A = this chain, B = another copy of it.
């Protein structure tokens, strides 16, 4: 039983029919007689037949197997583990299986695993790119007609589908949250003004500030490098103002960390003396700074959406790349909610 694999021809012989009839049964074709069908099925069960999907894929023109590749940059981070779970859910129920690989932010490994996946004939790829991934890295894939969905991190000029956080709604939700806590002067800190992401997030902030009836003050927008150092710099400049804010919506979580640093440097405790909200770009905020409110997405939901997006493209043959945004939610930490509430009372 070890070497002797049982094939369609074996079960054809056992059932007293021909190869192709068995094949039709396998595909659930209506062309085959009911009696024949059960006879064949019985033989398959009896002989312990297992379908050889590789052979089938080979024969089919186009040679697409029912495999979709998933590549994440850090599976150790539970955000990405959840993302993978979300993907797996829809992928499985669509009859596909999931190749999952972890790159640990290594661009070389990313290249390797994607190459390996291609050799195995994946019919689509979902990837949360490692840092420093170039848009061009996916050119060969799309040229070969393999749909790609980039998730979590957007890729500059790649002509592939993507799913990232809803930038506009994220900062807007943050502003509404802070306003509901009583804050009247809310700043927008960090980021380089000449990027699309910055524009979206700033517009969300601006729209919400107006919406909640706070006057819009240009002075409250302080750009900087989108880094931890940049955040520290931005908060320093902000606090030097005549009428400083009591809260900040930060361009991303790296900036938020820097803002916290800067606050502490001046003897203020973030969350207690000054409310800060970070935007989960790098997805590290969850563990790094517990006393921080963050704008995040539901990772499983994002995974499901990504998979749906991909399957749509696979089934539709080839479609234009589609860029969608994932709904965000505000994650207010316990340690932070109480503190921010206190800051409201002081302001009242």
Contact residues of A with B, CB < 8 Å? 1-3, 5, 48, 50-55, 57-58, 61-63, 65, 67, 75-76, 78, 81-82, 84-85, 88, 92, 97-102, 104, 109, 112-113, 115-121, 140, 143-145, 318
Contacts and interface: CB of A to CB of B under 8 A. Distances in A.
B101 A92 contact: yes
A144 B50 contact: yes
A67 B120 contact: yes
A67 B81 CA distance: 21
Contacts of A67: 120
A111 to B, nearest CB: 12
Given A55-B58, A97-B101, A140 B84 contact: no
Contacts of A61: 3
Contact of A97 (B1, B75, B99): B99
Contact of A76 (B81, B92, B113): B81
B5 A63 contact: yes
22 contacts: A1-B145, A2-B145, A3-B62, A48-B143, A52-B58, A52-B63, A52-B119, A54-B54, A54-B65, A55-B58, A75-B81, A76-B78, A78-B78, A84-B102, A85-B102, A92-B101, A92-B109, A92-B112, A97-B101, A97-B120, A98-B99, A100-B100
A260 to B, nearest CB: 21
A92 B84 CA distance: 18
A48 B51 CA distance: 31
A112 B95 CA distance: 10
Contacts of A145: 1-3
Given A62-B3, A121-B54, A97 B116 contact: yes
A48 B82 CA distance: 35
Contacts of A97: 99, 101, 113, 116-117, 120
Given A58-B58, A113-B97, A119 B85 contact: no
A100 B84 contact: yes
B119 A51 contact: yes
Contacts of A98: 99-101
A58 B63 contact: no
